[in-house]
Structure 1
Amino acid sequence: MNATGALGRYGEDLAARLLIRTGMTLLARNWRCGRVGEIDIVARDGDTVVVCEVKTRRAGSFQHPMAAITPAKAQRLRQLAACWLERHGGPPDGGVRVDLVGVVLPRRGAALVEHAKGVA
């Protein structure tokens, strides 16, 4: 795995821990839907399925990870959510939500992990 892949994997691990601490149940990680793409984390928050995009950056990077959801990315995440629901029995009573977890890694000290709900 290259350095960028390792950075992303570390960020996803931190995001998964945060989601579990907040009471969510992880259903899948790095779930792929053909050519549409990949969902970093699929979780359940009560009766809602959560499709979670994780963006990890080093401190001082050009773009903050929370600014990473462009309209095109949001559309792709909605398509991935529909694909997940189609393959897993349809939408639950609570529907589906798209979240973003942004991880910033400073040169020293603990990572800053932010969770934004309903971004797309």
Structure 2
Amino acid sequence: MARKDELGRAGEERAAAHLTRCGYAILDRNWRCADGEIDIVAAKGDRLVIVEVKTRSGIAYGHPFAAIDERKLARLWRLALAWARAHPDDARSRRIRVDGIAIIGGDPATGAIEHLERLR
């Protein structure tokens, strides 16, 4: 497995643990359909939260959130609706929100973590 893939996987583990500590229930991880993949699907209260996780070893190429442009955000919303259609019992009566989690550091277990609710 390539270093960037290992970094990304470790970042997703850290993000899921962070969400759980903050009271979110993890409903799905790495969910795929024809339109793409959702890193984490979580729920908290009346919210269904689609989480995009970006992990970087540093900021030489910019902040991880900079990689979530308008095109990526539109895709995340399409994926959120597809997930909700595929899981009506989990999605029923919940409002959808798209969040981002950025992890910066050579070791995702100890790197800085930032959770941005309601991306753009």
TM-score (norm 2): 0.91
Q: Distance in 2 between matches of 1:50 and 1:3?
A: 28
Q: Distance in 1 between matches of 2:24 and 2:104?
A: 22
1:54-79 CA-to-partner distances (Å, cap 9, x unmatched) read 00001243111122210000000000
Give the counterpart letter for 2:69 in structure 1. T
| Number of the residue aligned with 1:51 | 50
Q: Between 15-24 and 59-68, report the one with greater CA deviation.
A: 59-68
Q: Where does 1:1-120 land on structure 2 (aligned, <5 Å)?
A: 1-34=1-34, 36-89=35-88, 91-106=91-106, 110-120=110-120
1:9-30 CA-to-partner distances (Å, cap 9, x unmatched) read 0110110011001000000110
Structure 1 spans left out of the alignment, 5+ residues: none
Q: Between 18-27 and 64-73, report the one with greater CA deviation.
A: 64-73
Give the counterpart letter for 1:25 in structure 2. A
Q: RMSD of the TM alignment (CA)?
A: 1.7
| Percent sequence identity over aligned pairs | 42
1:74-95 CA-to-partner distances (Å, cap 9, x unmatched) read 0000000010011111743231
1:28-66 CA-to-partner distances (Å, cap 9, x unmatched) read 1100012x1000000001121110000000124311112
Give the counterpart letter for 1:116 in structure 2. L
Structure 2 spans left out of the alignment, 5+ residues: none
Give the counterpart letter for 2:57 in structure 1. R
